[in-house]
Amino acid sequence: MTASPVIRLTDYEHAERFPATVLFSTRLTPEAAPDEVREIGLEIDRAEFPCRVGQSIGVFAPAPAGLGKAHHFRLYSIADIPGRSPAGRPAITICVRRCTGIDPYSGEAYPGVASHYLCDRRPGDVITVSGPFGIPFEIPEEHDATLILIGSGTGIAPFRALVRHIYQDVPDWTGEIWLFYGARSGLELLYMNDERDDFAQYYDRETFRAFTALSRRPNWADPIRWDGAIEERGAELWQRLGDPKTHVFVAGLEPMRAALDEVFARIAGSQEKWRRRKAELMAGGRWVELVY
């Protein structure tokens, strides 16, 4: 797959398939949250699995009858630093939201094939996977660079792994990391809530800053309020975006692309100024989007 500033998980071709055993399945969202999101650990049935932070794996779920195919293919980003299982095999973690779609013609709700399949798996279950695929988010060669990470929903998963990798495995990192995380409510802030805050260990670092963007009305289907988190820091962000050492990584649902363009256009002062700046960032490989 050729490099592109905009990467869709559906762009990948699946190749070799192999079994993986579920090690654990933990619900991340509280029971009271409207959405169920689970962190699922997998043991890969191979001696070696050259998976790195920022990559994804493919999952094959049994396809419902009538679709004309045996399996439904879906990709999921690695949510933690790859390691080893108690048995010594490669082990990875993925983050899965139990999704429900709406038929555009009938308006009826239907369960997401792969997400329901994965959320229903329990420790010991064996699934079929492929990969790993792609490295959308590369750590800049300059370790004094500024990283602006913008994620929504399960889009936080690759950033959780990336930030942990930087602070654990890149000892000479001196650059700043700005994390903007969007959700419909505080209950949906995966890895950044009262019960579990995986980023808390970095809050006292001078190089790490985290901001949340929540919907104005969390019980409604309102869009994430990116302006509240991003536009309030517009002047400083615009200055950073003009620095050749600034890199922007975006991960989440595709509709967030338009919302972010709106906000950054206001920061820039016009849509044309933002189009030019974003084009420069993309051309230099300094603005990368992973959308699904």
Specify whether the CB–CB gap between 207 and 118 falls below 8 A. Answer: no
Residue pLDDT, tens place only, 71-102: 888 888 898 899 999 999 999 999 898 887 65
- With cut-offs at 50, 70 and 90, classify the pLDDT of residue 219: very low
- Greater confidence (67 vs 122) lies with 122
Mean pLDDT value of segment 247-264? 89
What's the whole-model pTM score? 0.77
* β pairing state of 246-252 and 287-291: parallel
Residue pLDDT, tens place only, 205-216: 788 888 876 554
Max Cα–Cα distance, the chain, nearest Å: 56
Specify whether the CB–CB gap between 72 and 114 falls below 8 A. Answer: yes
What's residue 133's pLDDT?
84
Mean pLDDT value of segment 267-284? 96
Specify whether the CB–CB gap between 292 and 9 falls below 8 A. Answer: yes
Specify whether the CB–CB gap between 165 and 81 falls below 8 A. Answer: yes
pLDDT at 287 over 60: yes
